[in-house]
A = this chain, B = another copy of it.
Amino acid sequence: MGKKNKQFVEKITAMEDDFAQWYTDVVKQADLVDYGQVRGTMIIKPYGYAIWENIKDELDRKIKQTGHSNVAFPMFIPESLLQKEKDHVVGFAPEVAWVTHGGDEELAERIAVRPTSEVLFCDYYSKNIHSYRDLPKLYNQWANVVRWEKTTRPFLRSSEFHWQEGHTAHATDEDAAKETDRMLGVYADLVENYLAVPVLKGRKTDKEKFAGAKYTLTIESLMHDGKALQSGTSHHFGSGFAEAFDITYLDENGESQFAHQTSWGLSTRIMGALIMVHGDNRGLVVPPRIAPTQAMIVPIAQHKEGVLDKAYTLRDQLQDLVRVDIDGSDKMPGWKFNEYEMKGIPVRIEMGPKDIEKEQVVLVRRDTGEKEFVALHDLEARLPLLLEEIQSNLYQKALDHRNEMTSVATNMEEFKQTLDQKGGFIKAMWCGDVACEEKIKEETTATSRCIPFEQETVADTCVCCGKEAKEMVYWAKAY
């Protein structure tokens, strides 16, 4: 084999053998990330960033459509400001990276690199909200934040990550509640319809809610290995932060009222869901709607006269229709097949001398591996349809998997057995007592993922203590 085959794609670990290693192999081999020099930081490489940029652009569009404005707040928070809301500081201080020196000068007060920006927005709102006319404030920012984590993994838990964080202020608790709901809906729409990842929508228990929130809404998705991933959260703060930061306004009757706030965030963590929901033993599988390249043309026997010309002509012809690229390099077709399967490009278009003769191409689906011969004159009609079929199929497959991996448990034995043997989501009733929640976590390592909006009564008594049940909860081991 010649020099050009040296770069032949390295094999990845089979997900059945070692799911964690499979994940690490995929993020490296599909060229998504590399490790940064500082522990737990990541370099998002061109291909990984192009996928994130598509997610970002789509979400940004939705955030603006719902009336929000983008802003940029500083990454630095004085320590005293971080300490203003007591639950919040307890939740975040242990993970803060602290700046103590500027140049040669030691700072009088330590500065936190933002782990999240509630206190900065609160400080701003306290100075800029005076009247009911100033409300609502609907702000969002795309930012990098830092949480000094002990164990890190690319996308899933990195010291620095990228996200958007929305921070809003409203006149009434009800307005804030509506906003909290609305933004959860925006996330669910994005994740289900663009990332093809089905989600459960619900409320976090008090134990699992955001530090400082009245309540937290969440979308939860299920990975291929049966573990759950929190995929986006929307927090209702009530007037808690407003009281700590003195964010008040004069209402229409001239009376002073506290503002009611929300925040909501979706981060590069969602890239982890994308990988672990759709990926397989040949690598990544990217849903067409967010794929940077939806179709890759691979010329076959490209040294033969006319093949490359025809292939480039095809590219030119398709490029206003779909996001298409061509690999006209002198690498072997087999190398190219592996490479673009690893990268999860939805459709491969093969075109060789025989196809040119027959005026056709071969379409190969990444999700199923199915081949299809399509006449050139049908291609412009067929290709967009095929992409939509792939998008639907990925969603349906993930939904089937989640359904298959969702069980009911009515007592702890059943709970443990199911979790051990099968994993996945466990639907079980809960009395509402944090002691039971803690006991379940201690005995099984599963946590409450959400109290779903769509409630069912799968039993009358709490799965843990046997007392009267209040709500059904989804439980799972989680990332």
- Interface residues of chain A, those whose CB is within 8 Å of chain B, are 34, 36-38, 41-46, 49-50, 52-53, 69-78, 81, 93-105, 110-111, 113, 120, 123-124, 128, 139, 144, 146, 148, 159-160, 162
Report whether A94 and B104 are in contact in the complex, using a CB–CB cutoff of 8 Å.
Answer: yes
B98 touches A100 (CB 8 A): yes
Instruction: Please give the distance in Å from A262's CB to the nearest CB on chain B.
Output: 17
**Cα distance, A471 to B95, chains bound together (Å):** 55
The count of identical subunits is 2
Q: Which of B53, B70, B111 is within 8 Å of A50, CB to CB?
A: B70
CB distance from A77 to the nearest CB of B (A): 7
Picked from B36, B97, B103, B139, the residue with its CB within 8 Å of the CB of A101 is B97
**Of B44, B69, B103, B111, which one neighbours A95 at CB under 8 angstroms?**
B103
Distance, CA A128 to CA B81, complexed state (A): 42
Interchain CB contact under 8 A, B97 and A99 = yes
Instruction: Give the distance in Å from the alpha carbon of A71 to the alpha carbon of B32 in the complex.
Output: 10
Minimum C-beta distance from A268 to chain B (A): 8
Distance between Cα atoms of A44 and B50 in the complex (Å): 26
Among B50, B71, B101, B120, the residue within 8 A (CB) of A46 is: B71
| A111: chain B residues within 8 A (beta carbon) | 38, 97
> What is the minimal beta-carbon distance from A25 to any residue of chain B, in angstroms?
17
A123, B37: Cβ atoms closer than 8 Å: yes
Distance in angstroms from A211 CB to nearest chain B CB is 15
**A307 and B102 alpha carbons, distance in the complex (Å):** 57
**Interface pair B74/A43, CB less than 8 Å apart:** yes
Query: Across the interface, do A74 and B123 meet the contact criterion of CB distance under 8 Å?
Result: no
Given A75-B146, A97-B99, 6 additional A-B pairs, CB 8 A: A43-B71, A46-B70, A72-B162, A98-B100, A99-B100, A100-B100
**Distance in angstroms between the alpha carbons of A72 and B52 in the assembled complex:** 10
A287 to chain B, nearest CB (A): 20
A37 engages B78 (CB within 8 Å) = yes
Please tell me if the beta carbons of B120 and A36 are within 8 angstroms of each other in the complex: yes
A32 nearest CB across to chain B (Å): 11
- Known A97-B102, A103-B148, A113-B113; contact A44-B69, beta-carbon cutoff 8 A: no
Query: Taking A46-B69, A76-B41 as contacts, is the C-beta distance between A100 and B103 under 8 angstroms?
Result: no
Q: Which among A34, A37, A81 has the greatest number of chain B C-beta atoms within 10 A?
A: A37
A49 touches B70 (CB 8 A): yes
Q: Which of B34, B42, B72, B104 contacts A43, CB < 8 Å? A: B72
CB distance from A357 to the nearest CB of B (A): 32
Given contacts A95-B103, A97-B102, A103-B96, contact A124 B43 (CB under 8 A): yes
- Output the nearest chain B residue to A139 by Cβ-Cβ distance: B46
Asked if residues B100 and A101 are in contact (CB atoms below 8 Å), the reply is yes
What are 24 A-B contacts with C-beta separation under 8 Å?
A34-B124, A36-B74, A36-B76, A37-B78, A37-B120, A38-B111, A41-B76, A42-B74, A43-B71, A43-B73, A43-B124, A49-B69, A49-B70, A75-B75, A76-B97, A76-B159, A94-B104, A97-B101, A97-B102, A97-B111, A98-B101, A99-B99, A99-B100, A100-B101
